[in-house]
Amino acid sequence: MSPRTILHLDMNAFFASVEQQANPELRGRPIAVIGSGGRTVITTASYEARKLGVKTGMAVWEAKRCCPEITLVVGDNRKYTWTSSRIVEMMKEYTPLVEVFSIDEAFLDLTASLGIFGTPERVAYLLKARIRHTFGLLCSIGIAPNKLLAKLASDMHKPDGLTIIRPEDVSRVMEHLPVGELCGIGRKMERHLNLMSIYTCGELGRCDVTRLSKKFGIIGTRLKEMGQGLDNSPVAPLEAEDEVKSVGHSMTLRQDISRREDILKYLLQLCEMVGRRARRYGVSGRTVTLHIRFADFYSGAGRQETLKRAVNLSNDIYRAAVAILDTLELPQPVRQLGVKLSNLEYQGGQLPLFPDERKKHEMVCAMDEVNNRFGDFTVTFGSLLAAEEKGSRVISPAWRPEGIRNVQVL
């Protein structure tokens, strides 16, 4: 395989920076973006807040403890999705091979475009300058022969960094790099490797592959390659991406609940969110999963059930979810509920065959249409929730601005 030139772009403190741009009073100050619910965490902290110890995933009270003057902003995903889409459009001017990895990260395969734009550094500087001028936002860029190394490189200098790993640098960079720095090796995997006396990528790359395969199974080979800085995976633009395999929503409730009728209300809301997203993208699914987290945070219950036929009507999903609920023991009040539809089938807008089915389908589509125009839960089943519980605004960096993974509500 001939050498490739891959660029990874990572927006710095994306949600927080977008908010600071939208509101000049927030610039230069410690702020953090949080979710809208009663029980939420820090989604993104500005660099000013990070300096004081505020981190993603922290409870709000914890963030306030390290930084009493912090300004908390409830996230607005329309802003982030809009900005992200504009940045992706900009990136597509340099190559059609843009893989949107998350709302604030993307890979570009520049191999074929360097004839037009010159060096990859030049593309990086152009992108950085344009993103800064247009949106007032900073990003870190990594350039390397593959995605694994490009992502590693973009992480090396933050914020506003530009790091290049050339083919001749790879073995030097990997030699003393801790294995946990690689995307794909998390805390548990790192601990297992350390127990095998493998601490650095250099050691991982030299490790006997049978030893790795014995311990880690099918990914043993892949691990050794990662240690050597090898990665053949292509940059996959949206059209080339695998089909989405599941659609789900979950919510942590404002308060723990125990009464069945309360649980059912939230369950119906979740099934409506899942069903509507599935219908919007023309998928239905045969497997419905219900998951519950109990009041103690650590314990939970859940089950999945595969139906005879694929469904995407909220009521069908709801019926399956309730059937599962009725098989579960609930030893504690419920903190969090989740519903997922998987085993997906892509039907591409086919209408059901039988008249009564079709009528139901048409009614649901009409409801969806109203909700799409006027906001979630404008028209909905009678038993849905009071105004203050409407359409919990999901804030998650894992969104994509396009396609079914756009979880944007409203």
Partner DNA sequence: TCTGGGGTCCTAGGACCC
Interface residues with DNA (CB under 7 A) are 35, 37-41, 43, 56-57, 59-61, 101-105, 151, 182-190, 217-219, 242, 244-252, 273, 277, 286-287, 289, 296-298, 302-306, 336, 338, 340, 342-343, 392, 394-399, 404-405, 407
CA dist., res. 260 & res. 226, Å (int): 49
| Beta-bridge mates of residue 336 | 252, 293
Q: Rounded to 5 degrees, what are φ and ψ at 316?
A: -70, -40
Question: Could you tell me which of 1, 34, 56 has the C-alpha nearest to residue 392?
Answer: 34
Taking the complex as a whole, how short is the minimal distance between the CB of residue 273 and DNA, in angstroms? 7
Taking the complex as a whole, how short is the minimal distance between the CB of residue 184 and DNA, in angstroms? 5
Q: In what order do the strands lie in the sheet with 105-109?
A: 98-102, 105-109, 6-11, 139-144, 162-164
CA dist., res. 41 & res. 361, Å (int): 38
Taking the complex as a whole, how short is the minimal distance between the CB of residue 69 and DNA, in angstroms? 17
Identity of the residue, 246 or 332, whose beta carbon is nearer to DNA in the bound complex: 246
Taking the complex as a whole, how short is the minimal distance between the CB of residue 119 and DNA, in angstroms? 26
Identity of the residue, 87 or 185, whose beta carbon is nearer to DNA in the bound complex: 185
Identity of the residue, 113 or 165, whose beta carbon is nearer to DNA in the bound complex: 165
Identity of the residue, 92 or 286, whose beta carbon is nearer to DNA in the bound complex: 286
Report angle CA 244, 247, 253 to the nearest 5 degrees. 150
Dihedral over Cα of 300, 336, 321, 306: its sign: negative
Identity of the residue, 217 or 382, whose beta carbon is nearer to DNA in the bound complex: 217
Per the annotation, the verdict on 105 as an active-site residue is yes
CA dist., res. 159 & res. 139, Å (int): 7
Taking the complex as a whole, how short is the minimal distance between the CB of residue 52 and DNA, in angstroms? 19
| Beta-bridge mates of residue 250 | 338
Identity of the residue, 130 or 291, whose beta carbon is nearer to DNA in the bound complex: 291
Taking the complex as a whole, how short is the minimal distance between the CB of residue 332 and DNA, in angstroms? 12
Q: In what order do the strands lie in the sheet with 246-257?
A: 246-257, 334-346, 283-294, 300-311
In the set 69, 105, 181, 329, the catalytic residue is 105
CB-count burial class (<10 Å; 0-12, 13-18, 19+) for 359: exposed
Q: What is the DSSP string of 283-328?
A: EEEEEEEEEEEETTSS-EEEEEEEEEEEE-SHHHHHHHHHHHHTTS
CA dist., res. 44 & res. 57, Å (int): 8
What is the set of active-site residues? Answer: 105
